[in-house]
Each structure stands twice: as structure tokens, then as C-alpha cells.
């Protein structure tokens, strides 16, 4: 078993614990997220952009701690999904309707 596999599993477990304990203890949930971020940084593992707020450290649960909306189409910016945390931090993620079938090169 590789050390990075152990670190990846530990990060996943910490993020899952953060989401579960958010209702009972918010500071403990933030602590779990910070521990997962430190482990991932030490082992250079990606945690994903949509798991937690990078400003306040809360795990993102749609409807509870984050509001998910489709952004307006602006000239040149394309389609975006807006994630707004309870701390008023906003993140934008691009999306498109292209599927894997459309992206494959036909020979």
C-alpha cells in the first residue's frame, strides 16, 4: 500500500466526517477540513474545488452551507455555476453541455 493512498483515504474520511459533524459542531467540522487540507498539501494530492470553502473552511453542503446557482451569460465569459458560501465567498466554475461522445475524434 502506497503512502499517497493512505493519505488520500484519510483526506476523504476527514471530509466525510466534516460533513457529518457540521450540524452538531461547526468548529470541529472546520478542524477536519483544515487537517484534510494539510495532509493533501503535504502529499500533493488534489482535494477537489467543490468540497469546501477556501475562505472559512466549512464543508459545502448544497442548501445548508452553499447556494448553487447558474451564472448569467456574459460576453466572452461563457456558462458558469456560482457557489456562494454562507460567509459570502463566491466561486465560479465553468461548464459546457459537451459530452464525452462529442469530444471523441471520429476516424
Condensed to tens digits (0 to 9), the pLDDT of residues 24-81 reads: 999 999 999 999 999 999 999 998 888 899 999 999 999 999 999 988 776 666 788 9
* 8 — pLDDT class (breaks 50, 70, 90): very high
CB atoms within 10 A of CB 92: 10
Cα–Cα distances in Å, from 27 out to 4, 18, 35, 39? 27, 10, 12, 18
* Separation CA 64–CA 77 (nearest Å): 28
pLDDT value at residue 99: 63
Between 1-5, 41-45, 82-86, 94-98, the lowest mean confidence (pLDDT) is in 94-98
**Torsions phi, psi for 41 (to 5 deg):** -70, -40
106 pLDDT above the threshold of 60 = no
Report the predicted TM-score, pTM, of the whole model to 2 decimal places. 0.79
pLDDT value at residue 78: 75
> Alpha-carbon torsion 22, 23, 27, 28, what sign?
negative
Amino acid at each position: 500500500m502506497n503512502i499517497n493512498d493512505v493519505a488520500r483515504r484519510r483526506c476523504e474520511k476527514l471530509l466525510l466526517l466534516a460533513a457529518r459533524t457540521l450540524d452538531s459542531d461547526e468548529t470541529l467540522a472546520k478542524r477536519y477540513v483544515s487537517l484534510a487540507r494539510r495532509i493533501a498539501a503535504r502529499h500533493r494530492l488534489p482535494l477537489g474545488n467543490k468540497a469546501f470553502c477556501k475562505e472559512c473552511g466549512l464543508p459545502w453542503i448544497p442548501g445548508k452551507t452553499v447556494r448553487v446557482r447558474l451564472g448569467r451569460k456574459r460576453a466572452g465569459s461563457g456558462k458558469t455555476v456560482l457557489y456562494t458560501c454562507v460567509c459570502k465567498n463566491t466561486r465560479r466554475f465553468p461548464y459546457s453541455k459537451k459530452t464525452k461522445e462529442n469530444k471523441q475524434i471520429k476516424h
